[in-house]
Amino acid sequence: MVKDSYDVVIVGAGGDGPVAAWKLGAAGLDVLVLEAGPFYGNEQWPNPSEGPGSELSDSVADLSGDLLDEQFTTRELEMAQKLLFGPADHERGLWFRKFPGSGAALQASGVGGTTLIYTGNHPRAYPAAIDEQDHWPDAFSYDDLLPYYRELEDVLGVSPAPVTAKEEMFFRGAEAAGYDLIDEANVTETGYRPQPNAIASPDEKLRHDNDYEGNFRHPDDPDAVDPVEGHTLAAAEIAGNPHPRGAPYEEKAKKTSAIGFVPRALDTGNVSIRPNAFVTDILTDDSIGGDPEATGVEFRDTWNGGTETIAADTVVLAAGAIETPRLWLNSSLPRNEWVGKGMTLHFGDNVMGFFEESVLEDTVGKPTIDPQEGQNIAARFDYPGVGMLQTTGSGPGIAAILGFGASASGFTFSNDLSDAPWDTQGRLAGTELKRLLARYRQALPILVVTDDRPHKRNGITVTPGVEDEHGPIPQINYVPSEGDVKRRDELAEIATDILREAGADHVHRSDSPPTALHIHSTMAMGKVVDTGCEAYDVDRLFVADHSALANGLGGPNPTNTGQALAARTADTIVERYF
Amino acid sequence: MVEFSTDRRTLIRGLGALGVGSMLASPASGQLQPPETTPNTRATYRAVVDSVVPRTPELESELGPEHVPGGLSVGLDEYLVTFINNLFSFGVRGAGDVGNLRLAEAVALVLDVGAAKLVAAGENDEPPSADRVVELLEPTDLLELDRLTDDPESVLEKSLFAALSREDRLRAIAGLDSIEFDTAEFPGPLTEVDAALVGQLVVGFTEVVYYSEWQGYADITAPPSERTFAPDVDSWDQTKFPGIIDGAAALRGYWGAPNSSLGGGGTWDTAVTGGGPPKKLYADPGSFEDSDDYDTSDYEEPFSTDGTPAADGPLGDVVSSLNGDVTDSDVADGDLTDVDNVTDGGVTDPVDTTVDGILSGLLGVGN
């Protein structure tokens, strides 16, 4: 049963909330985590998409690798429908978030949040993005994050990602284009490197020139044939990767926050997780004069619609960079002009290279790149001040929509590319689409991730009247600056150069519409929260998710930094109030 | 020629005529009685699939017979209607969950508006033809049409999108990216015109569903624990995707160099020998150097950081879709002159709170 009151209530069990829960629980505080989505891989909810199940989980014994195996099929369409941001009930669609133009918000719901679909990439921020770009308060520096990076990377086993054919093609192209190999964790120069991934390294048995004939199952699985531990080199991170099959929950290779931190949080004996609970209001007491003080939250059960109120000494917002400002704006809180504003989303793009079979035979010794093998994203290019590139293997459905299904510049046939370094640009459909998708296994897609800067016009608003069962819905506004567009163009040109140097005979640029996957800086430190991530305008109200980041970190995937900051915030909460 | 109008009131009246508005206007009733998918709507989705993932006999000699089938041969059009009608949850505060937002008819209507706009501008390569609509429909659709109306021809003529050639349909969808409705009456961000969402729905989702595992389910809408799947998928034959795998023996090692912390243990292979020290594939990952002595003092900004909104280039449509003067500048300069969301802390003014208002807000067409 959920109790009436806790020391701390955390709103959201996404990428960052479980880190704060673990730290606070370990400090002896009584913690409740409320999550809007379901809890996968938990005995309390054997069929979490088909009925309400239990109310709450507070024991590590509830966690089940077998259930995760059953629920996470790694079939890309089914998993996208299951994990994208909506209620647990499989009969209900996604929660609508309005995005301008043709972009989309790609959040996930469920314990683990968007780390359920993330690709395990765990690089640190570029130090210069914090210490040299002027978005962060002077009193905060990269140095403040370092001890937390080190601790959490150790917990998750972050290490350089393995090489399969697609990474080898990229690295060869980057070398031929004249870039250096970076071997620093704190990146200050331009170059390429393997991704630091929060994914356990694959078993050496899976060497490509071994004749492995096992079934890729974990030693604990009674049906395992030639068992393996670690990543199995099925590129399934985006589709929920529960591999190796048969592994205990904590031994799954990809360390989502649900795998990496939830067991630790529950193991403290002080943390309870309540899924299917959508928080709709932050409660405050302003009778004491001065700033109001957070006293609890109200949430709505997504199965039965019932509402409950929970009292807490401290409230932590960890609902993500769209939902956290939405919750603030929908609650009766002071109007800080920066709430929801200054959003960065790494303004992405996709550049895909296609290779002749003979070229591949010469470079990787086989006629295919096989984007379905290896870790989804295992190689990267860093360019502080501009952003980054990363190779992106995936199933063919995701490859199709990333590469060809979405564009801000219409269809390929309407674009004049006489001056462009790529061969085609835009959406592709019809015979040409089928022709290029026939080369799926000879394709190397590269994701462009731009160091877009915070602009006040970009962010989250709510409009009374445009609402769902949880109140006014978030509307996402995003217009990049001229500098953002130039940074993205520069990265697309570098990607094209690397692909050409690797031997690509055809390069396609999507010119993707702005899409919110990496989302940050909507409750920015220095604007909405102080350097301890407590709201300037509400006492005992903290933010422990990517919205507290003051910018987009220079372009690196934000999970590591969001988690490091959440761990630091948990320490601050203990220091200030307990 | 078919009569049409891109006037948004006409569009909203059209939504009403399709029963979309009235269905949504009584959410508290709890039990929705969704209107049946009409022959017009079916024709439109068949036209979408026929354009995006067509049957391609011309690829047989070039790539092989497995590349001939398209989305229509596996019933993708029917699933698209289901998919779009179940894509978004629809709940109302006070009334709770109402079901899902039935969007298939509205999306089809926006496609017809896009087609009308294309034809009005004379940008279609081939004249629309009702014959194309008839060809797309099944005999049962035609019988139903005959049952529903005394004048089936005039009903067919409403399916202007389906009456276009394959490529003209894509042009009509592209036109939605920049379609402009009169939004002057609407305050705040809801004035953004994003009929472009429709383009993403019908192109992006058609592609992701077709190239995914979708065809392998007996019924993808069944409860997950009862869903059955067989890896018999036409598009997988076309992409040579080997199917869902639990693993792959694909490890080539870890990238590193003799003088680098990356790569450790034995050397498996030498990958690149040109330029700098040879890059090798090692048995162990090694690690990243983690020094406290990182130096950011020579950091430079290669590009402008002043925050000026991008006005032209490939993002012109996105930018021009923003309503009002965006005068905001970069966060760094602390300029608080932003147009509409500063004084009220991000809560924009109330807009039409009717269900039609919400629906049209979602589609970005106003009402």
Summarised one tens digit per residue, pLDDT across range A505-530 is 999 999 998 888 899 999 999 999 99
Which of A102, A280, A343 to mutate: most B Cβ within 10 Å?
A102
Interface pTM (ipTM) of the complex?
0.96
Summarised one tens digit per residue, pLDDT across range A168-225 is 999 999 999 999 999 999 999 999 999 999 999 999 999 999 999 999 999 999 999 9
Closest CA to B320 of B312, B328, B330: B312
User: So what's the pLDDT on residue B35?
Assistant: 62
Closest CA to B195 of B183, B208, B178: B178
In sign, the C-alpha dihedral spanning B154, B159, B160, B163 is negative
Confidence of residue B336 (pLDDT cuts 50, 70, 90): very low
Find the CB nearest B352 among A168, A440, A465: A465
Q: Distance between alpha carbon B77 and the CA centroid of its chain, in Å?
A: 15
User: So what's the pLDDT on residue B63?
Assistant: 98
Please determine, for residue B75, whether its predicted confidence score (pLDDT) is greater than 50.
yes
Confidence of residue B26 (pLDDT cuts 50, 70, 90): very low
Please determine, for residue B335, whether its predicted confidence score (pLDDT) is greater than 80.
no
> Would the CB atoms of B308 and A228 count as touching at under 8 Å?
no
A464 within 8 A of B347, measured Cβ to Cβ: yes
Summarised one tens digit per residue, pLDDT across range A239-262 is 999 999 999 999 999 999 999 999
Summarised one tens digit per residue, pLDDT across range A24-80 is 999 999 999 999 999 999 999 999 999 999 999 999 999 999 999 999 999 999 999
Please determine, for residue A307, whether its predicted confidence score (pLDDT) is greater than 90.
yes
Chain B neighbours among A 32-51 (CB < 8 Å)?
Answer: 47, 49-50
The residue type of B43 is A
3 state SS of A339:
coil
Count, residues in chain A: 578
Give the residue, A263 or B187, on which the prediction is more confident. A263
The residue type of A416 is D
Sort B317 into a burial class: Cβ within 10 Å, 0-12 / 13-18 / 19+.
Answer: buried
Please determine, for residue B319, whether its predicted confidence score (pLDDT) is greater than 90.
no
The alpha-carbon gap from B80 to the nearest alpha carbon of chain A, in Å, equals 13
Please determine, for residue B94, whether its predicted confidence score (pLDDT) is greater than 80.
no
> Would the CB atoms of B305 and A90 count as touching at under 8 Å?
no
Please determine, for residue A233, whether its predicted confidence score (pLDDT) is greater than 50.
yes
Sort A408 into a burial class: Cβ within 10 Å, 0-12 / 13-18 / 19+.
Answer: buried
The alpha-carbon gap from A103 to the nearest alpha carbon of chain B, in Å, equals 7
**Which of A103-107, A373-377, B123-127 comes out lowest in average pLDDT?**
A103-107
Read off the pLDDT of each residue in A256-277 and give the average, rounded to a whole number: 98
Determine the Cα–Cα distance for residues A434 and A423; give it in Å rounded to an integer: 17
Confidence of residue B95 (pLDDT cuts 50, 70, 90): confident
Determine the Cα–Cα distance for residues A217 and A238; give it in Å rounded to an integer: 20
3 state SS of A24:
helix
Read off the pLDDT of each residue in B9-35 and give the average, rounded to a whole number: 39
**Which of A144-153, B1-10, B277-286 comes out lowest in average pLDDT?**
B1-10
Lookup: tokens for B152:
């089936």
User: So what's the pLDDT on residue A521?
Assistant: 98
Determine the Cα–Cα distance for residues B226 and A91; give it in Å rounded to an integer: 13
The residue type of B166 is R
The residue type of A101 is G
* Residue listed under structure tokens 């006037």: B7
Please determine, for residue B3, whether its predicted confidence score (pLDDT) is greater than 90.
no
Nearest CA in chain A to B314: A409
Give the residue, B189 or A224, on which the prediction is more confident. A224
Q: What is the DSSP string of A234-267?
A: B--TTTT--PSTT--GGG-SB--HHHHTHHHHHH
Lookup: tokens for A116:
């359920």
Determine the Cα–Cα distance for residues B340 and B323; give it in Å rounded to an integer: 11
Q: For A310, phi and psi rounded to 5 degrees?
A: -120, 130
User: So what's the pLDDT on residue A355?
Assistant: 98
User: Considering just the CA atoms, what is the radius of gyration of chain B in Å?
Assistant: 27
B272-to-A170, A364, B255, B276 alpha-carbon distances in Å: 12, 12, 10, 10
Quick one: chain B helix, strand, coil %, rounded to 5? Answer: 45, 10, 45
Please determine, for residue A159, whether its predicted confidence score (pLDDT) is greater than 50.
yes
B31 contacts chain A (CB < 8 A): no
Determine the Cα–Cα distance for residues A370 and A162; give it in Å rounded to an integer: 15
Q: Which residues of B touch A67 (CB under 8 A)?
A: none
Give the residue, B28 or A205, on which the prediction is more confident. A205
Find the CB nearest A427 among B188, B203, B255: B203
Beta strands A349-354 and A506-509 are antiparallel
Give the residue, B143 or B224, on which the prediction is more confident. B224
Lookup: tokens for B244:
């869902």
User: So what's the pLDDT on residue B276?
Assistant: 79
Neighbour-count burial for A217-240, b at 16+ CB within 10 Å, e otherwise: bbeebeebeebbbbbbbbbbbbbb
Summarised one tens digit per residue, pLDDT across range B297-310 is 999 999 999 999 98
Beta strands B254-256 and B279-286 are antiparallel
Summarised one tens digit per residue, pLDDT across range B255-295 is 999 999 999 999 999 998 877 789 999 999 999 999 999 99
Determine the Cα–Cα distance for residues B329 and A261; give it in Å rounded to an integer: 39
3 state SS of B334:
coil
The alpha-carbon gap from A540 to the nearest alpha carbon of chain B, in Å, equals 21
User: So what's the pLDDT on residue B186?
Assistant: 32
Read off the pLDDT of each residue in A86-103 and give the average, rounded to a whole number: 86
Residues of chain A above pLDDT 70, percent = 99
Q: For A274, phi and psi rounded to 5 degrees?
A: -115, 100
Determine the Cα–Cα distance for residues A141 and A144; give it in Å rounded to an integer: 5
* Cis status of the peptide bond prior to A244, with omega within 30 of 0: yes
Find the CB nearest B350 among A215, A463, A485: A463
A298-to-A53, A392, A572 alpha-carbon distances in Å: 21, 40, 24
> Would the CB atoms of A483 and B305 count as touching at under 8 Å?
yes
User: So what's the pLDDT on residue B198?
Assistant: 84
| Dihedral angle, C-alpha B303, B304, B305, B311, nearest 10 ° | -120
Average pLDDT, chain A: 96
Summarised one tens digit per residue, pLDDT across range A446-501 is 999 999 999 999 999 998 878 899 999 999 999 999 999 999 999 999 999 999 99
Closest CA to B314 of A425, A150, A529: A425
Give the residue, B144 or A478, on which the prediction is more confident. A478
**Which sequence spans correspond to the domains of chain B?**
8-211+353-363, 251-299
Cα angle vertex A390, ends A215, A322, to 5°?
Answer: 100
A468 within 8 A of A92, measured Cβ to Cβ: no
pTM of the model: 0.91
Q: For A257, phi and psi rounded to 5 degrees?
A: -65, -25
B134-to-B76, B113, B130, B172, B221 alpha-carbon distances in Å: 18, 20, 6, 20, 29
Closest CA to B72 of B143, B159, B6, B135: B135
Helix (H) or strand (E) holding A349: strand A349-354
User: Considering just the CA atoms, what is the radius of gyration of chain A in Å?
Assistant: 23
Confidence of residue A263 (pLDDT cuts 50, 70, 90): very high
User: So what's the pLDDT on residue B179?
Assistant: 60
Sort A134 into a burial class: Cβ within 10 Å, 0-12 / 13-18 / 19+.
Answer: middle
A225 contacts chain B (CB < 8 A): no
A381 contacts chain B (CB < 8 A): no
3-state SS track over A114-160: HHHCCCCECCCCCHHHHHCCCCCCCCCCHHHHHHHHHHHHHHHCCEE
